Amino acid sequence: MSLEPGTEFAGYTVVGKIGAGGMGEVYLARHPRLPRHDVIKVLAEHVSNDPTFRARFTREADLAAQLDHPCIVSVYDRGEVDGRLWISMQYVAGTDAAALIAATPGGLPLADVGAVGDAIGSALDHAHRHGLLHRDVKPANILLSSEDSEPGQPDAPERRRIRLADFGIARQTDGGTALTSANLVIGSFPYSSPEQLSGQTLDARSDVYSLACSLFEFLTGTVPFTGPTPAMLIHHHLVTPPPAVSDLRRDVPRAVSDAVRHGLAKNPADRPLSAGSLAAELRSAIDTTGFFPIVARTGPAMSARTQLAATQHAPTAAIPTAQAPPLRSRSSHSASPAHGFPTVTAYSELPDQTVSGPDPGASTVRASRDLPVLDVLPNGPAATRRTTASLACGVAALPLSVVGGLGLPVGVAGWYLAGRGVPSSAGRLAKALCIAGIVLSVAFIGFTVGHAMTIQF
């Protein structure tokens, strides 16, 4: 049963459908008394009629409603209408991180990834302290929106908000009740922890693994593991070592790659103890790496209303803004993108759902060209000449190492040039030859000095 715009449901007035799937539909609705819009998830009849799921839904919706955190989408109410369970949540005008990743397939700037890690790590720690797991942390459940300027200060900069959605299907961390044994697949395979996929008891470190998978995708544009079938994907999560982020994106420092890999450990005991710890490790790796700011470009992409924000706010224009739906005119409410309603948001991501691919549209801004650049890779004719010179030095360093140890300065010079040349197989060969020349030169000098001392004495 699909609800048409204008339909009254649980006191709300339906504005339009923003998602549908195997477990139900998701609607944007007008609150019956307050001047605001909420999101309503109406679960399908076959789900609502499952006694085990009903008990778990009631418990977990009540727990989720107790969460009060700036980076968590609030749960307002729950109930049942005509045998169908429903839950209402905060509406966030904007887009989800999955759409942003689709618009930036090469990976997001590190500053943006660090901001997402800070916000979601803090949100998960808050939920875990209240005995609640999320179990479905993924970019599609991370909402990105804008925050209005302060009243009376129309020229004040905007700050981007980052929120984690869909706590309505989370479960308590006690792991000991029969309410967690329903035969339901909760979560998404590309982001699910090994213990979740193997049916083991879960704790906060399962969400840590899912957050690490999401951070991996933010940095590289792809998930850590892929497979043609769910069985193959589960196999990879259980036994295949995760690839290094730095192998897929060469401008990412090794410390950042190591932080993400720490969260992807197969054994929960080998991961950070909390999502906040993973976020802090990632933040430390980012902040201790040299960023070189560039001159800001003028124009719409770098307006006066964009600023670098602190933790829990995205610090760059790469995180899009979107206008909230108009509330003054009833006739203006529509689910079309032209009225500011995203066609696909995190609210539509129910388990087993199939929806069309996200269309970022005008609300998604690709602004990495306006951001500080991390570890810019050398390129151009000058870098090519340095690589060629370093290769020549490496070839010369080997024979010169036995000619008075002249291979030492030649090897050092070649090694220096190779580090500032074009990253390539030729550059790596040059470094290897230069290092060999340096080692042979030091050995020759040491042998000569030792032999001379032996003759003297």
Dihedral sign for Cα atoms in the order 210, 213, 215, 217: negative
Verify whether residue 96 is a known catalytic residue: no
Rounded to the nearest 5 degrees, what angle is found at the Cα of 355, between the Cα atoms of 343 and 367?
50
Strands (E), 10-138: 12-21, 24-30, 37-43, 75-81, 84-90, 94-96, 132-133
CA distance 430 to 390: 6
List the end-to-end C-alpha distance of the chain, in Å, as a whole number.
Answer: 101
Residue holding tokens 């074009």? 422
Q: In angstroms, rounded to a whole number, what is the distance separating the alpha carbons of residues 211 and 136? A: 9
Distance CA 33, CA 268 (A): 46
* Residue/partner pairs of 406-414 with CB below 8 Å, 24 or more apart: 406/441, 407/437, 407/438, 407/440, 407/441, 407/444, 408/437, 408/438, 408/441, 408/442, 408/445, 410/434, 410/437, 411/435, 411/436, 411/437, 411/438, 411/441, 412/438, 414/389, 414/390
Residue 378: half-sphere exposure toward Cβ, Cα within 13 Å: 16
- Decide if 367 contacts 321 (C-beta within 8 A): no
- Rounded Cα–Cα distance for residues 196 and 204 (Å): 11
Q: Looking at the DSSP assignment, which residues form a beta bridge with residue 291?
A: 374
Whether the CB-CB separation of 78 and 58 falls below 8 Å is answered with yes
Measured between alpha carbons, how far is 419 from 430 in angstroms, rounded to an integer?
A: 10
Q: Do the beta carbons of residue 281 and residue 324 sit within 8 Å?
A: no
Dmax of the chain from CA atoms? 104
Residue in 112, 136, 207, 370 annotated catalytic: 136
Contact 281, 259 (CB under 8 A): yes
Q: How far apart are CA 246 and CA 168, in angstroms?
A: 35
**How far apart are the C-alpha atoms of 1 and 86, rounded to whole Å?**
13
The structure tokens listed for 300 are 């719409």
Catalytic residues: 136
